[in-house]
Amino acid sequence: MRTIVTSILTSLLFFTSPTVNAAEPILAYEDKEGSLKPSFDLSDTARINIGKRRFNSVCAAYCHGAEGDGGKVTAFKGNKELIPEGIYKVILEGRRGAGIMPPWGKTYTSQEIWELTAYIHHLTKQPPTVR
């Protein structure tokens, strides 16, 4: 009986104990290499579209507006002052003061932030929204 109980407990511990998945993505705030430069071309249409979907689901509604035309902050469209490295850094670390933005480096991987960056950089090349 004792052997059966020990076997059951051992099985339960084995099947319920948390395991570390070696393929788990590294979040951007921990990824010093990925922060330096993207692993893909920022003009890649597929990556821009992935960034657009993420942007529309997280960034657009409250702060940045649809298509980055400016919600509570300056519009991205036609904004030539935005450079990819600066966009990446603000998404990663956030910003304080006027135009506060939360950091996303503990939420997204470097690749995901670069995809957002690709989309926002794409928007800077579009004509500004006329209001």
Predicted local confidence at residue 104, as pLDDT: 92
Find out whether 65 and 86 touch, Cβ atoms under 8 Å. Answer: no
- pLDDT tens per residue, range 64-103: 877 787 777 778 888 899 999 999 999 999 988 777 888 9
Read off the amino acid at residue 23. A
**pLDDT, position 2:** 46
Which domains does the chain possess?
A: 25-124 (1.10.760.10)
- With helix as H, strand as E and coil as C, how does 14-69 read? HHHCCCCCCCCCCEHHHCHHHHHCCCCCCCCHHHHHHHHHHHHHHCHHHHHCHHHC
Confidence of residue 53 (pLDDT cuts 50, 70, 90): very high
Kindly report, residue by residue over 1-31, the tens digit of the pLDDT. Answer: 444 433 433 333 333 334 444 466 788 778 7
